[in-house]
Structure formats: structure tokens, C-alpha cells
């Protein structure tokens, strides 16, 4: 196998969590006014929370260290121990949060649908309402992941979200969007995120993926609900002090980095087209939705392919058959050209 130039640093497409804060973002962090956020006195955190809520069309926001913590707080605040949470196939809160739903919130999950999303009819059939006999755990929360990681960055439209939310509310269940990459959905749909926020009870979005901040997510919802969520943030160890230093990065990202997400999507499709033309690999072009690309090696296992590619192109095995590549703001057109050429060389050599 001949790589393009193994002396060059690897192009890292493992995740958009690998983004680095820019010099301008670091400057905003260094200059941010700060206070004690546990007392509600950090002005930069307060500004971020207010700005996030405004963008999502909601009353209030809560800055937390991670998207996982945001989802756990959502379950703790919406649910009682022993309740049921409905999620789609491959949901992050079910697969990738280290069992937190069961251990921390004490909920059980029901998986609905086959592609990450589900229809209003599927949801209506799955919801468990009041059960006088006590056999079934009541469904008190429905969670949608938008965009959907396991679905290859697939996004659900505001209109489809509204239809699912209508069923949930009619059946007395709350609805929450795990919007780790909600800004990618908004970019792909060319819609403001409040078009989703108006239909759901709560949502969260990450600052540390495509937006390029070093950490953090914001959980948004009704003011009284967010007030209750504060307690669970503290319980989980998410009470931060002079957190304005990192909140400033989030504010900078919302102001300067959102418009650049479309470039990530463009580069993702370009890489998909290159791989689709290669022998020994399959790409379903209809599955290319935003900045996540899933592809299937036909003559080698994903783990073996990733190990062999690792010196020059870093990608991840994603399930038993697929490989995931994620484009992000730190991948330039030149990086993309190198990665595409090396992937071509590799798959042609098999």
C-alpha cells in the first residue's frame, strides 16, 4: 500500500470533537469577565445562556460541561425513577452515555423505529400511558437525536418534529431534542434552530463539535424547568465557578462559526463522491446528510482498514461493517484533497 506521503501528519477525521479553539477564540476566553456561576454571578455564562435560549426560541438556558450531562439532566428533570424514555434506534443517550439513564435517572429505554427516527404512528403505538395494574413503566419522555450520529448525520425537519411532538404531548409525555449537532441540522435545512425549539419542551446543543469551542453544551427550556435543572447540574458535579472563560468560547462560536458549517457539509459530500467512485468500498450517497460520512469496505474489516489507514488518515470503525469519517472546521480543502487521495490509493490497492 502506497500512501501519499507518510511523513506528513495524519488527517484526523475521527470526530468533530477534535476541533481546536482559534487564536481569536482564545483571546475572547482570556478577556472574558467572570464571576461565580454557582451563585449565578458569572456575566459571560449568563450572556451565553440568554443568547442560546433566544436562538432556540426558549425562555432560559443552562450551560453545562457536556452534551451527555445535558441529556442526563433532561431525564432527571423530566422523569421519575422507574419511568420509561422512548428513543430511536442507535440513540446516543441509549448507547454512548455509559448507562447514565439507568444509573443516574433510574429510567428504562424503549427503542422505536429502525433508522434513528420514528413516525408519529410508531410513537403512538409505543407509548405506555397510565396503567392501573402497574405492569408497565409509564412513558414520560421522548428523546430525538438531531442530527443522528448512527444515522450518518441524518436530520429530522421541524415539520416532522412537530408531528412527533404532537403525539407525545397528546399522550402526556414531554419531548426533548438531543441536539448535539442541531446547528448542522439547521445548516442543512437552511432553517433557524428555533423552528425546532418551538415544537419541543427542551433541547440541548453542543458547542464543542463543529462550532469549535473547547467544551460545553447549553440545555434550553422553560424558565421554571431550567431552575429545577440547576439542582441536577450541581448533583452531577457540573456546578462551575469562573466558567465565563469557557462560556466566552461558546459565545464566540455562535457569533463566528455557525456560518462555516456549510463548508463541512460540502467537503463531506465531496469525499463521499470520491469514495463512491473507488473499488472495494461502498457509499450510499442518499445517506450523506451533513458532516458525517459512513462507508463500507467490501474486502477488509473496518477495524483492519482503520488500522492500516491510521498513519495518514484517521477514521473510526462504526459498527460491524462501516467506517465513520467526520468533517469539521479544522479540515481544509487541502486536507480533504490529501485524505481523498490516500483513501483512493488504499482501496485501489486491496
- Measured CA to CA, the distance from residue 287 to residue 289 in angstroms comes to 6
Q: Show which of 197, 222, 256 is a domain's final residue.
A: 256
At 305 the pLDDT is 97
At 1 the pLDDT is 43
Both 80 and 209 in one domain: the answer is: yes
Both 48 and 176 in one domain: the answer is: yes
Both 267 and 245 in one domain: the answer is: no
- 76 backbone dihedrals φ, ψ, rounded to 5°: -65, -35
Both 237 and 265 in one domain: the answer is: no
Q: Show which of 201, 224, 256 is a domain's final residue.
A: 256
At 152 the pLDDT is 95
Q: Which tens digit of pLDDT belongs to each residue from 250-307?
A: 999 999 999 999 999 999 999 999 999 999 999 999 999 999 999 999 999 999 999 9
Could you list the residue range(s) of the whole structural domain that residue 46 is in?
23-256
Domain count, the chain: 2
At 2 the pLDDT is 45
At 219 the pLDDT is 98
Q: Show which of 256, 291, 323 is a domain's final residue.
A: 256
Both 219 and 264 in one domain: the answer is: no
At 6 the pLDDT is 64
Domain-embedded: residue 273: yes
Across the chain, which distance is largest between two alpha carbons, in Å? 68
Both 139 and 225 in one domain: the answer is: yes
At 4 the pLDDT is 54
**Element (H or E) spanning 340, and its range?**
helix 333-349
User: For residue 62, what is the domain's CATH number?
Assistant: 3.40.640.10
At 319 the pLDDT is 87
Domain-embedded: residue 218: yes
Both 211 and 273 in one domain: the answer is: no
Both 283 and 156 in one domain: the answer is: no
148 DSSP β-pair partners: 154
User: For residue 319, what is the domain's CATH number?
Assistant: 3.90.1150.10
Cβ-count burial 280-311 (b if 16+ within 10 Å, e if not): ebebeeebbbbbbbbbbbeebebeebbebbee
Measure Cα distances from 117 to 68, 97, 223, 235, 343 in Å. Answer: 19, 19, 28, 31, 31
Both 294 and 196 in one domain: the answer is: no
At 228 the pLDDT is 98
Domain-embedded: residue 61: yes
Both 286 and 248 in one domain: the answer is: no
Both 154 and 294 in one domain: the answer is: no
At 3 the pLDDT is 47
Domain-embedded: residue 17: no
Domain-embedded: residue 9: no
- Which residues, given as ranges, of the chain have pLDDT below 50? 1-3
Domain-embedded: residue 335: yes
- Measured CA to CA, the distance from residue 206 to residue 190 in angstroms comes to 19
* 75 closest CA partner among 100, 105, 52: 105
Grid coordinates belonging to 115: 433508522
Both 82 and 28 in one domain: the answer is: yes
Domain-embedded: residue 325: yes
Measure Cα distances from 205 to 62, 216, 246, 264, 348 in Å. Answer: 11, 9, 15, 18, 39
Domain-embedded: residue 5: no
How many Cβ atoms from other residues are within 10 Å of residue 140's Cβ? 21
**What's the alpha-carbon Rg for the chain, to the nearest Å?**
21
Q: Which tens digit of pLDDT belongs to each residue from 132-150?
A: 788 899 999 999 999 999 9
Amino acid at each position: 500500500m502506497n500512501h501519499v506521503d507518510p511523513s506528513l501528519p495524519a488527517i484526523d477525521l475521527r470526530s468533530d470533537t477534535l476541533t481546536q479553539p482559534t487564536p481569536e477564540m482564545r483571546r475572547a476566553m482570556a478577556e472574558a469577565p467572570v464571576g461565580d456561576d454557582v451563585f449565578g454571578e458569572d456575566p459571560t455564562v449568563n450572556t451565553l445562556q440568554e443568547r442560546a435560549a433566544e436562538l432556540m426560541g426558549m425562555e432560559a438556558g443552562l450551560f453545562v460541561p457536556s452534551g451527555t450531562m445535558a441529556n442526563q439532566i433532561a431525564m432527571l428533570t423530566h422523569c421519575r425513577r422507574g419511568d420509561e424514555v422512548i428513543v430511536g434506534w442507535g440513540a446516543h443517550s441509549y448507547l454512548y452515555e455509559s448507562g447514565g439513564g439507568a444509573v443516574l435517572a433510574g429510567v428504562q429505554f424503549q427503542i422505536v423505529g429502525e433508522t434513528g427516527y420514528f413516525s408519529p404512528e410508531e410513537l403512538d403505538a409505543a407509548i405506555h400511558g397510565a396503567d392501573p395494574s402497574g405492569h408497565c413503566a409509564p412513558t414520560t419522555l421522548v428523546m430525538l437525536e438531531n442530527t443522528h450520529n448512527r444515522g450518518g448525520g441524518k436530520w429530522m425537519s421541524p415539520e416532522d418534529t412537530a408531528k412527533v411532538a404532537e403525539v407525545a404531548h397528546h399522550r402526556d409525555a414531554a419531548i426533548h431534542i438531543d441536539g448535539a449537532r442541531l446547528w448542522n441540522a439547521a445548516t442543512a435545512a437552511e432553517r433557524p434552530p428555533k423552528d425546532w425549539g418551538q415544537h419541543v419542551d427542551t433541547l440541548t446543543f453542543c458547542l464543542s463539535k463543529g462550532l469549535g469551542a473547547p467544551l460545553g453544551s447549553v440545555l434550553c427550556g422553560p424558565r421554571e424547568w431550567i431552575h429545577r435543572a440547576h439542582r441536577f447540574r450541581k448533583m452531577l458535579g457540573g456546578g462551575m465557578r469562573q466558567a465565563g472563560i469557557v462560556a466566552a468560547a461558546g459565545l464566540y462560536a455562535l457569533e463566528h462559526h455557525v456560518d462555516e458549517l456549510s463548508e463541512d457539509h460540502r467537503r463531506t459530500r465531496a469525499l463521499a463522491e470520491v469514495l463512491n467512485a473507488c473499488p472495494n468500498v461502498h457509499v450510499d450517497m442518499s445517506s450523506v446528510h451533513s458532516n458525517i460520512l459512513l462507508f463500507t469496505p467490501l474486502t477488509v474489516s473496518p477495524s483492519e482498514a482503520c488500522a492500516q489507514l491510521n498513519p495518514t488518515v484517521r477514521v473510526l470503525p462504526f459498527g460491524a461493517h462501516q467506517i465513520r469519517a467526520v468533517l469539521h472546521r479544522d479540515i481544509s480543502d487541502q486536507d480533504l484533497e490529501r485524505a481523498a487521495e490516500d483513501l483512493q490509493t488504499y482501496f485501489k490497492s486491496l
